[in-house]
Amino acid sequence: MRDPRPNWTCLSCILLTFSLLCVTAENQCRIRNQVADCSHLKLKQIPSDLPINITALDISHNQLKKLPPANFTKYNQLIYLDAGSNILSKLEPELCQTLPLLKVLKLQHNQLHELTESVFASCSSLTELSLGHNIVEIKSNPFKDLKNLNILDVSHNRLLSTKLGSQQQLESLRELVLSENKISSLKKEELDFLSNTSLDTLDLSSNPLKEFHPGCLHAIGNLYNLVVNNAELGKNLTEKLCLELSGTKIKKLSLSQVQLSYIYKSTFRGLQTTNLTALNLSKNYLSMIEDHSLAWLSNLEYLNLEDNKIDHLSLYSLYGLSNVKYLNLRRSHVSKIEDFSFRWLSHLEYLLIDDNSFQEITPNMFTGLNSLKYLSLCNWTSGLHTVTNKTFSSLANSTLQILNLTKSRITKIESGAFSWLVHLKILDLGLNEINQVLRGHEFKGLQKIEDIYLSYNKQLTLTSESFAFVPSLKKLMLRKVACSSLDLSPSPFHLLQNLTILDISNNNLANIKDDLFDGLHTLEILDLQHNNLARLWKHANPGGPVLFLKDLLNLHILNLKSNGFDEIPVHVFKGLFQIRSLDLGSNNLNLLPASLFDDQTSLNSLILQKNLITSVEENVFGTVFKNLRELEMDFNPFDCTCESISWFVNWLNVTQTNIPGLDTHYLCNTPPKYHSSLVMNFDISPCKDSAPFKLLFIISTSVIILFIFIIILVHFEGWRIAFYWNVSVNRVLGFTEIDRQQEEFDYDAYIIHARRDRNWVSKNFIPLEENDQSQIRFCLEERDFEAGISEFEATINSIKRSRKIIFVVTEHLLKDAWCRKFKVYHAVQQAIEQSRDSIILIFLHDIPDYKLNHALCLRRGMFKSHCILDWPAQKGRVSAFHQKLQMALKSSSYIH
């Protein structure tokens, strides 16, 4: 779509599909898995070009007048055929012959009138037949051959009686729908065609029933579920019906909207001899249940009394319902429930009494409901007001797990109000008018509580102890409860180690401490939207930004929408590796710090819509966009320049992420040239052109910096480079006799010293030679030079015959010209040829490096540290010096 230019492949492709369309134009049936859907196509003919192996065909909602068997011969694999909502007026008996496998035939909403005796003669494999909404009249036995039929729907026709045949038939029928006909009476002889049938459901709703003849319902083999909704039965006919049901297998009876305004003792008497388990009496304007009138229903498990006008439940109204598990009294205008009214319902598990108007919960209202699991008491018109420690005392022996008290006008919860409900798991107190300080005792005794809903209340003030009695909480909802400050220590949540969901949104919260969520290591969902937390993340905040998310290591979903944030500290999401969904929408964020989202590698959904973001850059979003499935960043004032959005546009072009509104709501704001144009239409090709320049810039800068570096290096460290260079060259070119063995040297060391230091040398070195263990031999000019050879030659020879050269560095040496010019030169040459540690410097005086360099062209840095020795000032350390000297002499002269 982004490139409207046509190309030739596409054009030929269009031509090809077009020509294909011409061939198949007569139908556009949708075919999938051997199912052909040809509905709503205004067809007047059966499509003739469908795959012959289809097993299901929907040709409903067309204009077919006939279903000619010949036109189906191709499709003889059909199992399902829906021809509903056409204008069929006639059926041909051969249809089923052509379709021998047909099981489901739907013909509802047609104009079928007369059904001949043979019309379904070949349809014995049919299991479902729908003839509703026709004008069928039945005279003979059209269904007699449907031996396998399970479901027959003849609703909304003009049937005057239930008689669908004059002989026993339909032995497989399970469901018969006869609703919306003109049946006014049930007669035995009109139902005995079903005498061999076990009906799961018989629906007779919306018929003008006036009479139930004796034995009518016994005529049916078995009947388990009878539906007679929306009929004017009243009390007399209801009673009659129940009498007719007595002794039958009936299990479920639905009598909704039958104008049963009173239940007398006699009304359900007939049901005494049944095992009825479910009774629906909803929408009956029922205003009175006589005492003991339901006592007949001892097997009842499900009773629906919703939407009536009962007003008053007396002590014996529900007498005898000892097996009822589910009782629905919603919207039944109950204004008074007498104490102990429910005591009979010892098996009741679900009690729904929402939308009623009774005045109060009396001390024994629920007494006896020992099996209760679920109690819903919502939308209580007159209101519960204060929940005291007596209110639910009647539930003390119950095993209640869920209590729903929403919209019950609760204003206050007193200490120990729920202490009776030790099994309670879920407590819903939402949408009330609670206005109090929660000190903790309100929830005392809720030992097993997991969820507490307190959302939408008037004003809840939390304390450090608010939830001290409910450490088992997993879910805590505190949305819109006007709790504007949580500046508490310790945090109200500090004991909730198992909390997984916390909602404190819509509270205008402005003050929280950074330890508010400390220890909530299992928290997965945190809702903080619609608060006022912006100040906490500002750099200018006294004491620095408040990093309140830091301990939520397991957080999956975080909602921070609408908090006025205009700054985000770079570390705020650090360590939150589990976040899947993050909503930062509707804030005032502009520049996000680089690497803000670097730990959010699991993020699926990121919402940043309605902020002030102008640029989307890789250093902020590169990591987080990688695994994103959904991004919402619309309604931001994007700056459509290369620097700001070219990376984003590039990403948009290749990403699979779902980005709703990308082609409508992602608009450029600046520069003026692009104002209101779409971000995704921003042309990034000029941005790419600048790339080589950028590269050039980087290269040239690097070259210059390198150059400057080299100059500085040469200036300050040139001598070192020159020295090492010489050493290396000699190594590489092999000028040396590296392989010279230890034994080839006559001396261990040649000693270079100033003439004036001669005495010092003799005094300190000769004793070393005399030491037996070391067997060191020094070459001393005065002693060891061969006679008769010039001093030049003698020096060179001696240096060559010595393994090491020792410089005795003194002020005198620096001044001694002979040493400086000649000996040092040869010594250094030797060092270059052999090794850096062939020279040992012994400093008698403290001589700075620059002087040494100046006088002898030597620097300390040229030699290994163990070859530089200082003559100790204290006598006591002389032996340590000797040790060092011996080490230096023994160290190998070769580079390894």
Stretch that binds ligand NAG, among 195-203, 394-402, 663-671, 859-867 (CB under 6 A): 394-402
**Residue from 35, 288, 315, 426 that binds ligand NAG (CB under 6 A)?**
426
The strand pair at 451-453 and 475-477 is best described as parallel
Q: Does 406 bind ligand NAG (CB under 6 A)?
A: yes
Q: Give 164 or 209: the residue with its C-beta nearer to ligand NAG.
A: 209
User: C-beta of 619: minimal distance to ligand NAG in Å?
Assistant: 41
Q: Does 367 bind ligand NAG (CB under 6 A)?
A: yes
User: C-beta of 179: minimal distance to ligand NAG in Å?
Assistant: 23
What is the C-alpha to C-alpha distance for residues 115 and 131, in angstroms, rounded to an integer?
11
The strand pair at 211-212 and 252-254 is best described as unpaired
For ligand NAG, how many residues bind (rule: CB under 6 A)?
Answer: 35
Stretch that binds ligand NAG, among 48-56, 596-604, 818-826, 874-882 (CB under 6 A): 48-56
**Residue from 85, 282, 293, 394 that binds ligand NAG (CB under 6 A)?**
394
Q: Which residue has the tokens 């939390």?
A: 462
Stretch that binds ligand NAG, among 65-73, 307-315, 432-440, 615-623 (CB under 6 A): 65-73
Residue 228: HSE in the Cβ half-sphere, 13 Å Cα cutoff: 25
- Please state the length of the chain: 896
What are the Cα distances from residue 723, in Å, to 736, 853, 858, 859?
Answer: 16, 13, 10, 10
Site for ligand NAG in 369-388 (CB under 6 A): 378-379, 381
User: C-beta of 380: minimal distance to ligand NAG in Å?
Assistant: 8
**Residue from 69, 93, 221, 416 that binds ligand NAG (CB under 6 A)?**
416
Do 52 and 73 form a contact (C-beta atoms < 8 A)?
no
Q: Give 26 or 689: the residue with its C-beta nearer to ligand NAG.
A: 26
**Residue from 238, 277, 404, 795 that binds ligand NAG (CB under 6 A)?**
404
Give me the 262-301 binding string for ligand NAG, x by CB under 6 A, dash otherwise.
-----------xxx--------------------------
Give me the 491-520 binding string for ligand NAG, x by CB under 6 A, dash otherwise.
-------x----------------------
Other CB atoms within a 10 A radius of the CB of residue 368 amount to 18
Q: Does 425 bind ligand NAG (CB under 6 A)?
A: no
What are the Cα distances from residue 386, in Å, to 390, 425, 477?
Answer: 10, 22, 21
Q: Per-residue b/e over 132-153, b at no fewer than 16 CB within 10 Å? A: bbbebebeebbbbbbebbbbbb
Q: Does 637 bind ligand NAG (CB under 6 A)?
A: no
What is the C-alpha to C-alpha distance for residues 578 and 467, in angstroms, rounded to an integer?
27
E strands along 528-604, which residues?
557-559, 581-583
Phi, psi of 395 (to 5 degrees): -100, 15
Q: Give 153 or 355: the residue with its C-beta nearer to ligand NAG.
A: 355
Give the residue ranges of DSSP H helices in 624-684.
642-654
Q: Give 498 or 595: the residue with its C-beta nearer to ligand NAG.
A: 498
What is the C-alpha to C-alpha distance for residues 198 and 194, in angstroms, rounded to an integer?
8
User: C-beta of 15: minimal distance to ligand NAG in Å?
Assistant: 24
Q: Give 164 or 286: the residue with its C-beta nearer to ligand NAG.
A: 286
Q: Does 46 bind ligand NAG (CB under 6 A)?
A: yes
Beta bridge partners of 869: 842
Q: Give 208 or 247: the residue with its C-beta nearer to ligand NAG.
A: 247
Stretch that binds ligand NAG, among 116-124, 150-158, 351-359, 482-490 (CB under 6 A): 351-359
Stretch that binds ligand NAG, among 63-71, 212-220, 581-589, 596-604 (CB under 6 A): 63-71
Residue 838 carries which side chain, given as an amino acid letter? S
Site for ligand NAG in 770-809 (CB under 6 A): none
Q: Does 154 bind ligand NAG (CB under 6 A)?
A: no
Do 814 and 785 form a contact (C-beta atoms < 8 A)?
no
User: C-beta of 498: minimal distance to ligand NAG in Å?
Assistant: 4
Q: Does 605 bind ligand NAG (CB under 6 A)?
A: no
**Residue from 180, 192, 355, 583 that binds ligand NAG (CB under 6 A)?**
355
Do 827 and 799 form a contact (C-beta atoms < 8 A)?
yes
Q: Does 428 bind ligand NAG (CB under 6 A)?
A: yes
Q: Does 35 bind ligand NAG (CB under 6 A)?
A: no
User: C-beta of 51: minimal distance to ligand NAG in Å?
Assistant: 4
Q: Give 381 or 730: the residue with its C-beta nearer to ligand NAG.
A: 381
Q: Give 149 or 223: the residue with its C-beta nearer to ligand NAG.
A: 223
User: C-beta of 285: minimal distance to ligand NAG in Å?
Assistant: 14
Phi, psi of 871 (to 5 degrees): -70, 125
Give me the 433-472 binding string for ligand NAG, x by CB under 6 A, dash otherwise.
--------------------------------------xx
Q: Give 250 or 841: the residue with its C-beta nearer to ligand NAG.
A: 250
Q: Give 469 or 747: the residue with its C-beta nearer to ligand NAG.
A: 469
**Residue from 68, 69, 93, 490 that binds ligand NAG (CB under 6 A)?**
68
Q: Give 163 or 249: the residue with its C-beta nearer to ligand NAG.
A: 249
**Residue from 49, 51, 167, 700 that binds ligand NAG (CB under 6 A)?**
51
**Residue from 12, 28, 53, 63 that binds ligand NAG (CB under 6 A)?**
53
Residues 6 or more apart from 162 whose CB is under 8 A from it?
A: 178, 183, 186, 187, 190, 191, 204
Could you please report the per-residue DSSP string of 104-161?
EEE--SS---B--TTTTTT-TT--EEE--SS--B--S-TTTT-TT--EEE--SS--SS
What are the Cα distances from residue 759, in Å, to 453, 754, 763, 782, 869?
Answer: 100, 10, 6, 11, 19
Q: Which of 423, 380, 430, 371 is nearest to 402 (CA)?
A: 423
What is the C-alpha to C-alpha distance for residues 691 and 172, in angstroms, rounded to an integer?
80
Q: Which two tokens stand for residue 774?
A: 């070391």
3-state secondary structure 783-800: HHCCCCCCHHHHHHHHHH
Q: Give 277 or 507: the residue with its C-beta nearer to ligand NAG.
A: 277
Residues 6 or more apart from 276 whose CB is under 8 A from it?
A: 250, 251, 252, 253, 297, 299, 300
Do 258 and 229 form a contact (C-beta atoms < 8 A)?
yes
Residues 6 or more apart from 774 whose CB is under 8 A from it?
A: 768, 886
Q: Does 422 bind ligand NAG (CB under 6 A)?
A: no
Q: Which of 262, 251, 314, 312 is nearest to 284 (CA)?
A: 262
Phi, psi of 767 (to 5 degrees): -60, -30
Give me the 235-264 binding string for ligand NAG, x by CB under 6 A, dash otherwise.
-x----------x-x---------------
Beta bridge partners of 486: 512
Q: Does 234 bind ligand NAG (CB under 6 A)?
A: yes
Q: Does 208 bind ligand NAG (CB under 6 A)?
A: no
User: C-beta of 244: minimal distance to ligand NAG in Å?
Assistant: 13
Stretch that binds ligand NAG, among 40-48, 118-126, 176-184, 508-516 (CB under 6 A): 40-48
User: C-beta of 396: minimal distance to ligand NAG in Å?
Assistant: 4
Q: Do you find a cis peptide bond into 637, omega within 30 degrees of 0?
A: no
User: C-beta of 658: minimal distance to ligand NAG in Å?
Assistant: 29
Q: Which residues bind ligand NAG (CB under 6 A)?
A: 34, 45-46, 48, 51, 53, 66, 68, 71, 234, 236, 247, 249, 273-275, 354-355, 357, 367, 378-379, 381, 389, 394, 396-397, 404, 406, 416, 426, 428, 471-472, 498
